[in-house]
Chain A
Amino acid sequence: MWHIAGKTLDSRFLIGTAMYDSPEIMQQSIDASGSQIITVSLRRQSAGGSDNQVFWEFLQSFQQNNRYLLPNTAGCHNAKEAILTAQMARELFKTNWVKLEVIGDDYTLQPDPFQLVEAAKELIQQGFEVFPYCTDDLILCEKLLEVGCNILMPWGAPIGTGKGLMNPYALTLLRERFPNVPLIVDAGIGKPSHAAHAMELGFDGVLLNTAVAKAQDSIKMSKAFKHGIEAGRLAYEAGCMQEQQKAQASTAVVGQPFWHLEE
């Protein structure tokens, strides 16, 4: 069990709801993940709207048994847009949680750190629990904590790239500097081994979407990530051995048979 935003959760796997082949596969993938937090978004109603109705009903059923929605501000490019989107999400989803995204570059979807801090500060003053999608920059993370964020969500790599942890050094440093802040790697995870790596570094959770949604078998991949995240956490708690340069035989030398000594 772990704690985030006043909730006690079993699952450390946060999963997105986008890009699945069908609503049914999305729901089965989320079930397979065991996730207790799913991300959602806001957009204009599409023509017809039957998918919207199905999704709405799913969201109502999901929010039972200690499971929660995390609305995002995807697509926002400045603090003003992000603040309004967060306000609208709070009104619609009846939650003060927001995954705060303020994009600064459309090629990398890298967050704009200045607008991100400005938006976080204002939203926290308005009573939001801000989950900031940020880079792994130490100073940015410090500023986010200074304005009142209780959680940090640095990227592993740009959204949707599946490259894994591009800068383990920076992520390790964040864990060392902020031992009591819930840290979640958000974005860039492509394989369960990437998620396990993040958890081995001591991160509290992993948020991902594309790696499951775009797998050939999303449901099976969701299970794979669940196990990867659990394995990584267990490894962190168990304490991994220290790396070393020199090889060291694991079988005892004492009692070795004589023919090894003949030359």
Chain B
Amino acid sequence: MKIVFNGQTVELPNTHTLSALLTDSNLTKGLSIEQAVVAVNQTLVHKSDYETLIIHEGDQIEMLTAVVGG
């Protein structure tokens, strides 16, 4: 199954929940869930839904964090 995570195409071996996906430090670059916010297919996902949300083929996932800004 292929998905797009922060703009990069990623191959997943099997079905994942969003929560499981976010434990992969290769994807998250070590960013903790507490310091991140996630959108799937341009829709915000609340943290309370991470455990139940199933990732599907072709999903586009954005995991963002706080950065400096003007």
Say if A and B assemble together.
yes
Please state if B69 and A45 are interface contacts (CB–CB under 8 Å).
no
Give the total number of A-B pairs whose CB atoms are below 8 A apart.
Answer: 97
Q: How far is the CB of A163 from chain B (nearest CB, A)?
A: 16
Check: A144 CB closer than 8 A to any chain B CB: no
Please report the total number of B residues contacting A with Cβ < 8 Å.
24
Please state if B37 and A42 are interface contacts (CB–CB under 8 Å).
yes
- Tell me whether A17 and B69 are in contact in the complex, defined as CB-CB below 8 angstroms, given that A84-B39, A84-B42, A88-B37 are known contacts: yes
Please state if B46 and A59 are interface contacts (CB–CB under 8 Å).
no
- Tell me whether A74 and B70 are in contact in the complex, defined as CB-CB below 8 angstroms, given that A49-B30, A84-B44, A92-B37 are known contacts: yes
- Tell me whether A88 and B44 are in contact in the complex, defined as CB-CB below 8 angstroms, given that A17-B68, A49-B31, A52-B35 are known contacts: yes
- Tell me whether A42 and B70 are in contact in the complex, defined as CB-CB below 8 angstroms, given that A84-B42, A87-B44 are known contacts: no
A27–B68 CA distance with the chains assembled, in angstroms: 11
Q: How far is the CB of A240 from chain B (nearest CB, A)?
A: 30
Check: A33 CB closer than 8 A to any chain B CB: no
- Tell me whether A41 and B68 are in contact in the complex, defined as CB-CB below 8 angstroms, given that A84-B44, A91-B44 are known contacts: yes
Those of B33-70 within 8 Å (CB) of chain A: 35-37, 39, 42-44, 46-47, 62-70
Interface residues of chain A, those whose CB is within 8 Å of chain B, are 16-20, 26, 39-49, 52-53, 55-56, 59, 71-72, 74, 80, 84, 87-89, 91-93, 159, 209-210
